[in-house]
Amino acid sequence: MKYTDLQDKSVSELQDMLKEKKLEVFTLKAKLKTMQLNNTSELRAAKKDVARIKTAINAARSK
């Protein structure tokens, strides 16, 4: 996911995406703790997506 893809979305859409990504981060962390996560870079990518979405929300609110 790129930031440019998020710029044209509304705040409500971004908040929905944020909820989904946070849930994904939670499940990936649980899999990591139980040694079920094979690709650990997925967790890092999901965290970065959460940060991108939060940045887009803040930018949309400040306009």
Give the integer Cα–Cα distance in Å for 39 and 23. 17
Identify the domain containing residue 42 by its residue range.
Answer: 3-62
pLDDT of residue 1: 83
pLDDT of residue 63: 75
62 band by pLDDT with thresholds 50, 70 and 90? confident
User: Domain with 18 in it: what CATH number?
Assistant: 1.10.287
pTM above threshold 0.75: yes
Q: Are 33 and 43 in contact (CB under 8 A)?
A: no
Please give the C-alpha separations between residue 36 and each of 23, 27, 30, 31, 33, in angstroms, as whole numbers.
Answer: 17, 11, 8, 5, 8
pLDDT of residue 52: 96
Number of domains in the chain: 1
What digits encode the pLDDT tens for the residues 6-42? 988 999 999 999 999 999 999 999 999 999 999 999 9
